[in-house]
A and B are shown apart, each in its own frame.
Chain A
Amino acid sequence: MASALFEARARAQRAPVSMKIVVAGGFAVGKTTFVGSISEIEPLRTEAEMTVESLGLDHAGPLADAKRGTTVAMDFGRITIDPTMVLYLFGTPGQDRFWFLWDELVRGAVGAVVLVDTRRLDDCFPAVDYFEHLGVPFVVAVNLFDGVATHHPRNVREALSVPANVPVVLCDARRRSHVQETLVLLVEAALRRVNGAA
């Protein structure tokens, strides 16, 4: 059984299994706040560079130096589940044109949280499309910026036309309990996917 293998290996190496959850959404939608509310470390800004490899070119020639200068930042947080498991949270860069980085973040991820600001609903469309297309489990979390629900989740669901198996929740990204519940819903959705129920 695969999990027994992973756990045996983890014990043998005293190396925890790392799990990954991606936090996506438009610019300034609260991704850093979301990660910071539950991470056991202060969320870090980790820079990745757009490299020649990212562009899918072997030799970019004179372009290489110019491209080297382009850096994008993502948020990084960590939650130690127990000595054998650690969960990493990655907040995607706000600009959705950095797909190359999203691809690396999403590879092997449990799933994604798409944070939504109802005042700029269309900002989240690229993320929703992206995770739907890849078949990655995700939840839509409507960030309550003023702590007040101005939209019912049902209306957001209709506006986004996400399928019934995608949870849509209200979430104040500043509140740890809300963030925790959102992550619970995501992992439950991932489990349903694996078990073939969704």
Chain B
Amino acid sequence: MTARGPEPRLPRVVRPYVLTGGRTRPTGPTLALDTTIRTTVTDVTAPPRPDTPEAARIVELCHTPTSLAELAGRITIPVGVVRVLVGDLAANGTITVDPPTPPGVATDVALLEKLLDGIRAL
């Protein structure tokens, strides 16, 4: 019997971008790590149905509004892949993407004071 080389590593069942048909760029709105995504459809059996388990999981998780970074962490697929899947789901109206956080929040005195009070009260 011929000696075989080392077994290939099998870290994932499929390569991440197989889930997106090889696309690496999302359609639609810009998605930052802290962008909130929320599911808009209430009847998950009604069309359009998510066509992969990962997309279905996004729809399920986002019944509670969830950030992009948290989605990627929970589904354990890279942020870039989640961006593409979220773009598709937003395009067919299954979910909505909140507007990006305005650039001024980190220097807004009232918001910083509120954050400070909130952390002190934890």
By a beta-carbon cutoff of 8 Å, the part of chain A in contact with chain B is 1-4, 6-7, 13, 15-20, 38, 41, 44-49, 51-52, 68, 71, 74, 76, 78-79, 81-82, 85, 87-88, 90, 104-105, 107-111, 180, 183-184, 187-188, 190-191, 193-195
10 A-B pairs besides A6-B105, A17-B105, A90-B69 with CB distance below 8 A are A13-B98, A15-B65, A41-B70, A44-B73, A49-B81, A85-B114, A105-B33, A108-B34, A108-B106, A187-B116
Picked from B101, B104, B113, the residue with its CB within 8 Å of the CB of A18 is: B101
A104 touching B32, Cβ below 8 Å: yes
| In the bound complex, CA of A62 to CA of B99 (Å) | 35
Across-interface contacts of B105 in A (CB, < 8 A): 6, 17-19, 108
**Minimum C-beta distance from B45 to chain A (A):** 26
Chain A interface helix/strand/loop/mixed: mixed
| In the bound complex, CA of A133 to CA of B11 (Å) | 38
Across-interface contacts of A88 in B (CB, < 8 A): 33-34, 67, 69
Residue B122 at the chain A interface, CB threshold 8 Å: yes
By a beta-carbon cutoff of 8 Å, the part of chain B in contact with chain A is 16-17, 24, 32-34, 36, 65, 67, 69-70, 72-74, 76-81, 98, 101-116, 118-120, 122
B106 touching A68, Cβ below 8 Å: no
Q: Given A3-B108, A19-B111, A88-B67, do A191 and B78 touch, yes or no (CB 8 Å)?
A: no
